[in-house]
Amino acid sequence: MTEFLAMGGYAAYVWPSFGLTFIVMVTIQLSTFSRRRKAIAAVRRQHAVNTQKNQQAGTGESV
Amino acid sequence: MFQWFHRLAASKNFYRLAEILGPLFGVLGAILLTLGVYRGLFVAPTDYEQGESYRIIYVHVPSAWMSMFVYMVMAFCSALFLIWKMKLADIIAEVSAPMGAAFTFLALATGSLWGKPMWGTWWEWDARLTSELILLFLYIGYMALRASIDNRGSAARAAAILALVGVVNIPIIHYSVEWWNTLHQPASITKFDTPSIHISMLVPLLMMALGFTFFYFTNMLSRARSVILEREANNNWVKDRFRENRL
């Protein structure tokens, strides 16, 4: 195990490479998730605005 | 063919396709990346010249490939947008840019981490490294340009033109190792007749490359869906989906 972690003396280059790649890819994925949450919130907001408008107009369109 | 293309370009149909393909690509990508990292770190043999340091290849080369692949997607979509005014193409280009920039950054950073022990330097102003750095600036310029123009249509057109002009950099990156004397080693995979890499080292590399590709597509599709939802929040199909709780 220690030998594996030592990477034949190149640990200082191999592990940062893999670690950085991991961090960047996790960041991309998390930002995709938060982008989606934001979009769904926007739709919900729009829906609330529409419902309110409809009620004010007295169209009676139930949603 | 064109009709099919046209139907797909309708955001409603794209959304339906993307919500199936996105998660599927995500699962495939996760499996390939897990297998690729495992085989790359534990199964692939030590390189007789570079020792264990060569294992950086499993993150460096897929990042570098993706940096160019994502740019090609962006440029292709920009052309579709400029010629046929396909809004969907513009959305795909827009959401791809930050990921392309991230892959380019990874290619440069992991390249630097590989260059130090092998060439004795973190950075060299040679053709391959410089053209890859220009690619990073192209991505950043693309995003900055989009952000700096308020009118969405004008921003999209300006960015699309920039993406198409910048595409000239892609063959320069690819052939830089042949056209100029450079520190960077020539391609070891793309010469298919005699790949200069052993099969036990090649398999994990291909897994990683495919895994990166699926990873990009699953994220690109999800982000494109988010943009569509926001832009079309007032359209009936979005309202219907919202009521049925299946956004």
Residues 6+ apart with CB under 8 A from B49: none
What does the longest C-alpha to C-alpha distance in chain A come to? 76
Q: Nearest chain A Cα to B38, which residue? A: A18
- The Cα of A57 is separated from the nearest Cα of chain B by a number of Å equal to 17
Q: Is A58 helix (H, G, I), strand (E, B) or coil?
A: coil
What's the total number of domains in chain A?
1
Q: What is the pLDDT of residue A62?
A: 52
> Buried (b) or exposed (e) across B125-145, using 16+ Cβ within 10 A?
ebbbbbbbeebbebbebbbeb
- The Cα of A8 is separated from the nearest Cα of chain B by a number of Å equal to 6
A54 in any annotated domain: yes
Domain extent at residue A33: 19-58
Secondary structure, 3-state, B22-90: HHHHHHHHHHHHHHHHHHHHHHCCCECCCEHHHHHHHHHHHHHHHHHHHHHHHHHHHHHHHHHCCHHHH
- For residue range B111-136, list pLDDT tens digits in order: 999 999 999 999 989 899 999 999 99
- For residue range B37-84, list pLDDT tens digits in order: 999 999 999 998 889 999 999 999 999 999 999 999 999 999 999 999
Of the candidates B92, B219, B143, the residue with the CA atom closest to the CA atom of residue A25: B219
Q: What single-letter amino acid sits at A16?
A: P
Q: What is the pLDDT of residue B187?
A: 74
DSSP string, B197-225: S-HHHHHHHHHHHHHHHHHHHHHHHHHHH
- For residue range A19-62, list pLDDT tens digits in order: 999 999 999 999 999 999 999 999 999 999 999 998 888 755 55
A6 in any annotated domain: no
Q: Which long-range contacts (CB under 8 A, 24 or more apart) does A31-39 make?
A: A31/B98, A32/B219, A32/B222, A32/B223, A35/B222, A35/B223, A35/B226, A36/B222, A36/B223, A36/B225, A36/B226, A38/B226, A38/B230, A39/B225, A39/B226, A39/B227, A39/B229, A39/B230
d(CA B236, CA B29): 33
A3 in any annotated domain: no
What is this structure's pTM? Answer: 0.92
Among A4, A13, A26, A34, most B C-beta atoms within 10 A, so best to mutate, is A13
A9 in any annotated domain: no
A4 in any annotated domain: no
d(CA B76, CA A17): 30
Q: Note whether B93 and B163 are within 8 A (CB).
A: yes
Q: How confident is the model at residue B8 (pLDDT cuts 50, 70, 90)?
A: low
Q: What is the pLDDT of residue B171?
A: 94
Q: What is the pLDDT of residue B211?
A: 98
Q: What is the pLDDT of residue B190?
A: 58
Residues of B with CB under 8 A from a CB of A: 37, 41-42, 46, 51-53, 55-56, 58-60, 63, 98-99, 102, 105-106, 109-110, 113-114, 116-117, 215, 219, 222-223, 225-227, 229-230, 233-234, 238-239, 242-243, 247
Q: What is the pLDDT of residue B45?
A: 92
- For residue range B173-230, list pLDDT tens digits in order: 999 888 887 778 777 765 555 667 888 999 999 999 999 999 999 999 999 999 999 9
Residues 6+ apart with CB under 8 A from B147: B155
Q: Which residues of A touch B114 (CB under 8 A)?
A: 13, 17
Of residues A27, A28, A40, nearest to B247 (C-beta): A40
A40 in any annotated domain: yes
Q: What is the pLDDT of residue B81?
A: 95
A31 in any annotated domain: yes
Q: What is the pLDDT of residue B181?
A: 75
A7 at interface of B, judged by CB pairs closer than 8 A = yes
Residues 6+ apart with CB under 8 A from B55: A7, A14, B40, B41, B44
Q: Note whether B195 and B201 are within 8 A (CB).
A: no
A24 in any annotated domain: yes
Q: Note whether B77 and B92 are within 8 A (CB).
A: yes
Structure tokens at B72: 């090609």
Q: Is B1 helix (H, G, I), strand (E, B) or coil?
A: coil
Structure tokens at B32: 């390939």
